Amino acid sequence: MVDAMSIKSGLSPGADSEPKVVVRNLWKVFGPHAQRVLAALQSGDSKQQAALEGGHVVAVRDATFSVQPGEIFVIMGLSGSGKSTLVRCISRLIEPTGGYIAVGGAEVTAMDAAQLMQLRRHSLSMVFQHFGLFPHRTVLQNAAYGLEVQGVPLAQREARAREMLELVGLAGWADSRPQRLSGGMQQRVGLARALAVDPAVLLCDEPFSALDPLIRRDMQDELLRLQQMMHKTILFITHDFLEALKLGDRIAIMKDGRLVQVGTPEEIVSNPAGDYVREFTRDAPRAKVITARSLAQARAGVEAPAVAASTRLEELLQRMAAGETQLCVREEDGTLLGVVDQAAVLRALAGAAPR
């Protein structure tokens, strides 16, 4: 059933340029005979499969996706669905069992140990769920760690680390030990440490899951603020669907090691692929996610005030409440997409599929 599900590629910034991260047919099997299990799984021989899977965990099943430059790509799934494994395969902290991975055009799956080390030093950075800070180092030394292992001279790396600490609002804490900081501040150190090496790709494994809800919201805003300045390519893991909607340019939903749907928040909320995904979208803030673009119905000869295609449902609702019955939806360049009427707005709000 899941196999048949279409994996859509949504519109995102720079969709037509070369993808920054490419993952094709990635598999990860934990256990003593991983390769044999993989072969059995790929051949589809179900009887042999069942016999072999005992004692094995298939953490990632045939994952394929790509991430565009400057995009925040969120992988959302419940605990145990294989998110951490997937993201660790990209830097080969966990060795994939099969499949193809490329970062910035370089094939990660073909790299030897030395190339891999260079990749981790210069192109990939990671932020961890429990921060992963070094308790024996000061905040500054933590932030400078990535540069230190690269061999950057002390003065230079500390200057850069200070800059990063300032960026995340921790300028005054450089000489403290990380344990003395609150959780939110510790994760800011984690962010500063990751950004200090100026990586092309940032991998975040549930970075805000260990934080209190209010702090978590602050940190989400902080990440968006930083992203506006830095335009990194970010792979962001979360088990929180609302966080995924808020941060993601695109979201991949993962279940039992498989990507069951990949799309923009709007696509996923307005067109969930199957009951599993629909279950998540039930509490989604539709008014903030759905835009006029997906509501527009082609209808000729209607005279009505125009709105941009990116106008959110909540604003459309206000316009309707103010007395409009119909609105024309136009792209930024002026092309007419169609018309939105009150009925379409109400249907979208109620969670029914568009007609």
Partner 1 sequence: MAAVNAGRWLALCAGAAAAVLLGIHFIGSGFGPFPVEWNIGLRQPIDGFQSWVIGNRSTHPIFLFVFGPFSAFVDWGLRAAENILLWLPWPVTVWLFAALAWQVANWRITVVTVCGLLFMGLMGLWEQSMQTLALMVIAVSLSLLVSVPLGILAARHAHLQQILRPILDLMQTMPAFVYLIPVLLFFGVARVPSVVATMIYAIPPGIRLTELGLRQVSPPVVEAARAFGATRRQLLWHVQLPLALPAIMAGVNQTIMMALSIVIIAALIGAGGLGREVLVALQRLQVGRALEAGLAVVLLAIIMDRISDALANRQSEIYVAGANTGYAAKRPAWQRARIVVPLVAAVLLLAALVLGVQSFPEAARLPLYQPVDVAVGWMRDNLYRIGNSGWGTGPLSDLITIRMLDPLRALFAHGLAWPVQVALAVCAGAALSGFPLALQAGLGLFAIGMLGMWELAMDTVSQVVVAVAISIVLAVPLGIWAARSAWVDALLRPILDTLQTIPSFVFLVPVIMLFNVGRVPGVIASVLYALPPGIRLTTLGLRQVNDEVREAARAFGSSSWQLLTKVELPLALPSILLGINQVIMMALAMVVISGLVGGAGLGLEAVIGLAKGQTGRGIEAGLAIAILAIIPDRMLHAAAHRLQPPV
Ligand X SMILES: Nc1ncnc2c1ncn2[C@@H]1O[C@H](COP(=O)(O)OP(=O)(O)O)[C@@H](O)[C@H]1O
Which positions touch partner 1 (CB under 8 A)? 91, 93, 117-122, 124-126, 128-136, 145-146, 148-150, 177, 179-180, 193, 197, 203
Residue in 5, 23, 61 with CA at minimum distance from that of residue 256: 61
Written as one string, the DSSP assignment of 106-161 is EEGGG--HHHHHHHHHHTEEEE-TT----TTS-HHHHHTHHHHHHT--HHHHHHHH
Q: How many residues bind Mg ion (CB under 5 A)?
A: 1
CA 70 from centroid of its chain's CA atoms? 11
C-beta closer to partner 1: residue 126 or 289:
126
C-beta closer to Mg ion: residue 84 or 227:
84
C-beta closer to ligand X: residue 81 or 261:
81
Give the shortest CB-135-to-partner 1 separation in angstroms: 4
**Using rule CB under 6 A, residue 30 touches ligand X:** yes
* Segment lying near ligand X (by CB under 6 A), choices 78-86, 95-103, 146-154, 174-182: 78-86
Answer with the entry of partner 1, Mg ion, ligand X, none that 278 interacts with (C-beta below 5 to 8 A by kind): none
Integer Cα distance of 238 and 159 in angstroms: 32
C-beta closer to ligand X: residue 32 or 323:
32
C-beta closer to partner 1: residue 202 or 348:
202
Q: How many residues bind ligand X (CB under 6 A)?
A: 11
Classified as helix, coil or strand, 294 is helix
C-beta closer to ligand X: residue 30 or 100:
30
Give the shortest CB-82-to-ligand X separation in angstroms: 4
**Using rule CB under 5 A, residue 84 touches Mg ion:** yes
Give the shortest CB-240-to-partner 1 separation in angstroms: 20
The helix (H) or strand (E) run that includes residue 25 is: strand 21-30
Integer Cα distance of 13 and 238 in angstroms: 21
Integer Cα distance of 243 and 130 in angstroms: 18
Residue selected from 2, 5, 39, 57 as contacting ligand X according to rule CB under 6 A: 57
Residue selected from 29, 34, 37, 59 as contacting ligand X according to rule CB under 6 A: 59
Torsion of CA 183, 185, 191, 193, to 10 degrees: -110
Provide Rg for the chain, Cα atoms.
23
Residues 6+ apart with CB under 8 A from 63: 23, 25, 26, 27, 86, 99, 257, 258, 259
Q: Footprint of ligand X on this chain (CB under 6 A)? A: 30, 57, 59, 77, 79-85
Q: Footprint of Mg ion on this chain (CB under 5 A)? A: 84
